Structure 1
Amino acid sequence: MRAYFSLLILLLFCACKEDNAGVVKNQTSGPALGTSYNIIYLTGESLDLKNEIDSVFAVVNRSLSTYIPTSDISKVNDGDSLVQVDHMFREVFELSKDINKKTGGYFDPTVGTLVNAWGFGPEHKIKLDSAKVDSLLKYVGFDKVSITTQNRIVKQNQNIYFDFNAIAKGYAIDRIAAMLDHKGIENYLVEVGGEIVAKGINKDKGKPWVVGIDDPQMKEGRKLKMLIHLQDRALASSGNYRKFRIDEATGKKYVHTIDPITGYTKDSNTLGVTILADNCATADAYATAFMAMDLEDAFKVVASNKKLEAYIIYLDESGETKEFLTQGFKKLVVK
């Protein structure tokens, strides 16, 4: 559905320090999920949670990473019908099923066969024509899979290939946030590859967390499009403006958004999407789906779901850049 690279988000924070009012700004960073993470958590004392954070990423990978042969999802994709997936797989499966229905099938983790075929996944790409795309579409559709009460996955065809990359990063961020909540930490900012969960406020500054959204039309370097306040919400972004593959033989550009309905890569007038939701997995999934959907359909989904806020950058019929912001999103923009 996309190459699973988010619209880059610039976090406005500095290095760890002990500030006034007894607030300690703890900061942890490192590699994870094929990208990097930066996490700030404010406490009354110095606290190092790097081992716990890395452990959460490891557990999520063992469940949902298609790049680890022994993960639950890899076993399911290899045709193991007896494997009992863990609770994380089940949670992501159930959430994916719900969002698949609400987006009219445009969010569909069973698109993995096509992701691989187009050369965007861990498997080898293949030469595609219309007949081959049509044949692969037989293996796409969330209505063709189910999960039993014993946490076993049932597939109508063993060639169906799950790819949760468009939701797994957001889910991992939610699991990190849950770990921080469990430890009683009330003010934190978790960022992984540009996707974010913010809780409480930037207490050492006495105001909400501030994050910046990059301009999607910058081909090189970075330029901020806007700043927003983020408090007790999750943010995820998607775009096909920078990440694409060039066919060596034809020179044709293939964007990293695959339309699960047609089976082809999507070349749309939507440049970038940023979604705010109650959790990052949900924001992640909708941001992906809106890149694959026609613009008007995306607007309708946003209007029908009061728990979502959206910022969509697109080109109108004359090629002019336009912006769509929900009222709730507008209220968060830093003036």
Structure 2
Amino acid sequence: MKYTFLPLIVLLLFSCSPNRPEIFKNQNTGGALGTSYTLTYLSDQPLDFQKEIDSVFDAVNRSLSTYIPNSDISKINRGDSTLVVDAMFRDVFGLSKEIYQKTDGYFDPTVGVLVDAWGFGPGEQMELDSVRIDSLLDFVGFDKVTLEDQNTIEKSHPDIHFDFNAIAKGYTIDRLALMMDHKNIQNYLLEVGGEVVAKGSNTIKEKQWVVGIEDPQMGETRKPKILITLKDRALASSGNYRKFRTDSITGNKYVHTIDPKTGFTKNANTLGVTTLANTCAKADAYATALMAMDLDAAIKLLMGQRELEAYIVYLDEKGEPQEFMTEGFKQLITE
């Protein structure tokens, strides 16, 4: 599954145009969720929502962070079956179940034991072979967990560990967007670790918001591969080209995308996936699932639904870079 990695997205903002009523570009930047954020919101007066922004991050961490020992998810992972989960946990659990089913299990937040075993989580890294991985797969499967009527979590085995990192970042941006909506902000562009929610437009420049999708083959050189306009939509990306671990003894490279079907890391020909959806949590989760799938299965899923647009960069049989885009995504490309 997908975990914190450097952004695939380069945000493009604009300066003021002359002869216009003054519009203020309010911006908060910082670090949270193991990554960085840039939150831009436009208004007719200077504003600073830092206190509210920090509260959103804190609330999500208390519920969903596996890196905080006393968070709800950490307590549940340690075996607390009496804890009553909050609304955020219920939201993420419900959406995860939905996407787990729609992706035939390729999005699976119970992959936590494998994330730790491969060295990408807070738990103990293990020496892995096919036998050990097969035994760990007994503790993977979202159909093995249930949200009870009392809002407690039932697991079929105590060693099942949740890891919502492949959806929690997107969900956090949705919560930040909801906060902006409650503040009656009509135009904003919110980015956390490369995931984006855009509302309205860039009224300073009288243009739509524009984001650049980074070329996954440029390594540490950050250069947009394409630019797209974004309005009243969410965007999330997943890729293997930066987040990986190299074994110090064997030199083997292990990417952070884990196939929940096999338990192995997914060294596939898909380099990066960008998805658009009505919420960032949904875009985030589907980007992860599409990375875990074989390319043909990912394209088949995209062609069989209407709620997502997507862009995939992959290598063909000759090792040459190729692209796949849904028709709706193509219409958003701009210069």
TM-score by length of 1: 0.97
| Secondary structure, aligned partner of 1:100 | helix
Alignment of 1:91-130 (within 5 A): 91-130=91-130
Q: For residues 280 and 19 of structure 2, what CA distance do their matches in structure 1 show?
A: 29
Provide the rounded CA distance (Å) in 2 between the counterparts of 1:284 and 1:313.
17
Within the alignment, does 1:216 sit opposite 2:210 as a pair?
no
* In 1: Cα distance, 2:322 partner to 2:36 partner: 31
* Superposition pairs of residues 134-213 of structure 1, within 5 angstroms: 134-213=134-213
2: CA distance between counterparts of 1:257 and 1:43?
Answer: 39
Inter-partner Cα distance in structure 2 for 1:173 and 1:18: 32
Classify the secondary structure of the residue corresponding to 2:242. coil
Compare 268-277 and 299-308 and name the one that shifted more. Answer: 299-308
Letter in 2 for 1:266: K
Contact 2:5 2:242 in 1 (8 A): no
Gaps of 5+ in 2: none
2:42 match: 42
Q: Check 1:44–1:111 CA distance in 2 against 1; reply closer, same or farther (3 A cut).
A: same
Give the 3 Å change call, closer, same or farther, for CA 152–207 of structure 1 in structure 2.
Answer: same
Q: Distance in 2 between matches of 1:311 and 1:72?
A: 35
Q: 1:251 is matched with which residue? A: 251
Quote the Cα distance in structure 2 between the aligned partners of 1:282 and 1:108: 13
Measure how far apart 1:2 and its partner are. 3.0
* C-alpha contact 1:15 1:27 (8 A) present in aligned 2: no
Tell me, in whole angstroms, the C-alpha distance in 2 between the residues paired with 1:17 and 1:259.
Answer: 48
Task: Please list the CA deviations of residues 138-172 of structure 1 after superposition, one character each: whole Å capped at 9, or x if unmatched.
Answer: 00000000001211000000000000000000000
Query: Conserved in 2, the CA contact under 8 Å of 1:36 and 1:193?
Result: yes
Aligned to 1:303: 303
- State the shift of 1:207 in Å: 1.1
User: May I ask how many residue pairs the two structures share in their alignment?
Assistant: 335
Q: Is the 8 A contact 2:16 2:204 kept in 1?
A: no
Q: Is the CA contact (8 Å cut-off) linking 1:19 and 1:25 kept in structure 2?
A: no
User: In 2, distance between residues paired with 1:26 and 1:282?
Assistant: 27
Distance 1:244 1:17, change over 3 A: farther
Separation in structure 2 between the aligned mates of residue 36 and residue 252 of structure 1, nearest angstrom: 29
Report the alpha carbon displacement of residue 131 of structure 1 after superposing the two structures with TM: 0.9
CA–CA distance in structure 2, aligned partners of residues 18 and 176 of structure 1:
31
Give unpaired runs (5+ residues) of structure 1. none
Deviation at 1:102, TM superposition (A): 0.5
Q: Deviations along 1:48-73, whole A, 9 cap, x unmatched? A: 10110111000000000000011110
Q: Which amino acid aligns with 2:221?
A: G
Q: Cα 1:153–1:16, aligned 2, differ >3 Å: closer, same or farther?
A: farther
Is the Cα–Cα contact under 8 Å of residues 16 and 205 in structure 2 kept in the other structure?
no
Alignment pair present for 1:262 and 2:262: yes
SS class of match (2:109) = coil
* TM-score normalised by length of structure 2: 0.97
1:65 match: 65
Q: CA deviation at 1:125?
A: 0.1
Task: Give the Cα separation in 2 of the matches to 1:74 and 1:14.
Answer: 42
Cα deviation, residue 16, structure 1: 9.8
CA contact 1:272–1:291 (8 Å) conserved in 2: yes
Report what 1:325 is aligned to: 325
Taking a change above 3 Å as real, the CA distance of residues 16 and 82 of structure 1, as seen in their structure-2 partners, is farther
